[in-house]
Homo-oligomer: A and B are copies of this chain.
Amino acid sequence: MADVAAKERKILVAVDESEESSYALSWCIENIITGNSNDTLILLYSIPPRVVYSTLDGTGEKDHPEGYLFSSDILATMERYSSEVAQCVMEKAKRACEALNGVKVETIVEHGDARDVICQAAEKLHVDLLVMGSHGYGVIKRAFLGSVSNHCAQNVKCPVLIVKKPKTDGRSK
């Protein structure tokens, strides 16, 4: 298996602010990435789109019943908040990778629906593996949140690793 260490692999890890995502990254580092490898670890964060409208565009809320009406000040604050969350998540993720000697760590922040952002990045970057967390086990949560991993598992062409955070016993052997 000597050639494994010499192989150059690109591993894309979808990160977000959830514990599942943090666990998935840790699991990947411990189980997939080896210290002496030539792996490139790409951390991807997608800032979700918000359906919002500025009051400056002269339209009322009743014209956009599916959206919310905010002033440009509030919109700017929300955007700044999103960017700060993204930065915070990325810094936390990079700290988790600090122990990895010889592994290149890159970060990408994109705006858009996580499904599209992740699938497009996997395709565009020709990654060898996509790693992502799975959100919760409940039927409701799975229906809304878990569908991101389902969607990606069905649509990307590379191997996909879906990591679930252990529920109770914190098994981490």
B-contacting residues of A (Cβ < 8 Å)? 1-2, 4, 7-9, 24, 27, 30-36, 99-100, 126, 128-129, 134, 137, 142, 146, 149-150, 153-154, 157-164, 166-167, 171, 173
Contact A4 B27 (CB under 8 A): no
**Contact call B173/A8, Cβ cutoff below 8 A:** yes
Known: A4-B30, A100-B1, A142-B154. A162 touches B160 (CB 8 A): yes
Residue contacts A-B, CB under 8 angstroms, 7 given: A1-B35, A4-B30, A9-B173, A27-B159, A157-B164, A159-B162, A161-B161
Are B31 and A9 closer than 8 Å at their CB atoms?
yes
**Copies of the protein in its oligomer:** 2
B residues in contact with A1, CB < 8 Å: 30, 33-36, 99-100
Complex Cα distance, B33 from A34, in Å, reads 11
Q: A173: which of B34, B100, B128 is its contact (CB, 8 Å)?
A: B128
Contact in complex: B32, A31 (CB < 8 Å): yes
Contacts of A160 in B (CB 8 A): 161-162, 164
Bound-state Cα–Cα, A57 to B159, Å: 47
A28 CB to nearest B CB, Å: 9
Query: Which of A8, A159, A166 has the most C-beta atoms of chain B within 10 angstroms of its own C-beta?
Result: A159
